[in-house]
Amino acid sequence: MVDEVLAKSFTLTGADYDRYRPGFPPAAADMVMPPTVRTALDLAAGTGKFTELLVGRAQRVIAVEPSESMLEILRSKLPEVEAYLGSAERIPVESGVADIVTVAQAFHWFDEDAACAEISRVLRPGGTLGLVWNRFDPMCGWDRAAHRIAHPGLASASADADADAAVATSTAADELPGFDFVRREQIHSTERIRRAAYLGRWSTVSTFLVADEFARTEMFDAIEAVLDSDPETRDREEYDLPIVTDVFVYRRT
């Protein structure tokens, strides 16, 4: 069940999301793209973090996003992209227009059945659906600890690092209604990030956006305590942050 309050929290952010959230490795776009793409549609496109990778890989790129503040940033960054206000459950484009639909960092917020029906509608027969997530590397203890603070469900779900990682992409599955599962890929990368930017990134996470001031301060204090105590981050202003990017590819049935 999608938490509507958390899902809608991203309408409260825009510039900070674009400033602090990581981009996606170009290899992720290469993995999902069919050999020839006339039209690519990026759904829940946000500020264009993944959309920008589709430019040049498709003749026509469409972005659909429910937050006007995020769309304004996307339009300013990517004026060549057709950008529309809309949702995964109600995509404002004609049927059969897209060779591929991509969703980066957002599929878990969708009503799966309704979204899959709409994605299937806008795809051409045999079209591709690509789901992409950046997530924490479970082998990085300090980042994993920060995620457990921001997402208490991780701690209650399991004490196992692999189980923690699975939660991040738990809505991707071998079976989606109207689609055949093709493959899953994984990309490992490292980002050099300053402490202030790392903390700023947490300010764009749904649990922080909906929290009251007291709860938000408590979470920030707890994450700073992790950074102050872990030998990889203690007394440092810059960190090497490992990131895992999960890529799931489906074909319209």
Q: Quick: pLDDT tens for 205-250.
A: 888 888 899 999 999 999 999 999 999 999 999 999 999 999 999 9
Residue 209: what pLDDT? 86
pLDDT at 178: 96
Q: What is the pTM of this model?
A: 0.86
78-104 pLDDT, tens digit each: 999 999 999 999 999 999 999 999 999
Tokens of 57: 């890989």
pLDDT of residue 171: 56
Instruction: Please state which CATH number belongs to domain 4-252.
Output: 3.40.50.150
| Mean pLDDT value across residues 172-193 | 92
For residue 207, what pLDDT is reported? 84
- What is the tens place of the pLDDT at every residue in 123-162? 999 999 999 999 999 999 999 999 999 987 655 444 444 5
